[in-house]
Each structure stands twice: as structure tokens, then as C-alpha cells.
Amino acid sequence: MTKAAKTAAKARSPKKAGATPKAAEKKGGIPASVLKLHKLILKSLDDDKAEDIVSIDLTGKSSVADYLVIASGRSSRQVGAIAEHLIERIAKETGKKVRAEGKGSGDWILIDTGDIVIHIFRPEVRGFYNLEKMWGAAMPEPAAA
């Protein structure tokens, strides 16, 4: 078999099971698509003036998700708007339909993308549940009034 034939045969052969392209995974085995989604979520929250945004890397801590993102809105109306805009942006950019719970009250909205779980709270509710402490992250200091 000639060198050119060997190269062509190698290119046609199936890749080993479980092998992933280097470009597809970054940062501790988290797929690039998840990192892109994470960046989109953080940008959307920032664009909508969410406060005290915290992102917790759950790699090695939980199999539920790769990231937990927590943010606050100043009022129930803002919490609802932040969540609605985020859901729309995720659907537009990724084609994913995400699930959301708590949109009715606007005190605490949970959005589950499958790889990233987002919690958007009113500040009082966030302080009561203090999810950051449960996951070992520091809760941000409230902004001065």
C-alpha cells in the first residue's frame, strides 16, 4: 500500500469510541458548547442589569449541571423581565427550549438549560436561601443604596 493510500484509509477510518476533538472540549472537560452558553447567559444577565451575578463551577461537585449561575433583580418585575429575556436569547442563539419555574411570583425564578442552572432572585429571597453558601462560594456584598 502506498503512503497516499494509507493516509486516505486512515482519514476514512472511524475514530476511537469516546475520543473527542480537542477543539470541542476546553476547561476541565466542559464542552465548548456549554462554555459558549455560559458566556451568553452571563452577558444577557449583565445586559439586563442583573445584580450580584455569581457563577459557580460545579465540575467535580455535582452531576446535575456544569455551572450554577445566581443573580438578583431589584424587583419582582425586573426578575421576571431578566428571566424572560434570558429564555428568549437562549432559544434564539441555541435553538434550545429551556424550562423555567417561578415566573408567576417573580421572587425566585429557576431556569434549567440542562448543562447550566440559573437562579434569579429578589435580594431578600436570595439572602434567605443563600445558595452560594451551600455550594461554597462567597455571597456578594449588597450594593450600597
Cβ–Cβ < 8 Å for 32, 38: no
- Is residue 61 in some structural domain? yes
Mean pLDDT of all residues in 44-67: 89
Question: pLDDT for 43-53, tens place per residue?
Answer: 999 999 999 99
State percent of the chain over pLDDT 90. 48
- Is residue 13 in some structural domain? no
Instruction: Report how far residue 65's alpha carbon sits from residue 67's, in angstroms, rounded to the nearest whole number.
Output: 6
Q: What domain range is 75 assigned to?
A: 31-131
CATH number, residue 57: 3.30.460.10
- Is residue 59 in some structural domain? yes
Is pTM beyond 0.85? Reply is: no
Instruction: Report how far residue 10's alpha carbon sits from residue 7's, in angstroms, rounded to the nearest whole number.
Output: 5
Number of separate domains in the chain: 1
Instruction: Report how far residue 75's alpha carbon sits from residue 113's, in angstroms, rounded to the nearest whole number.
Output: 24
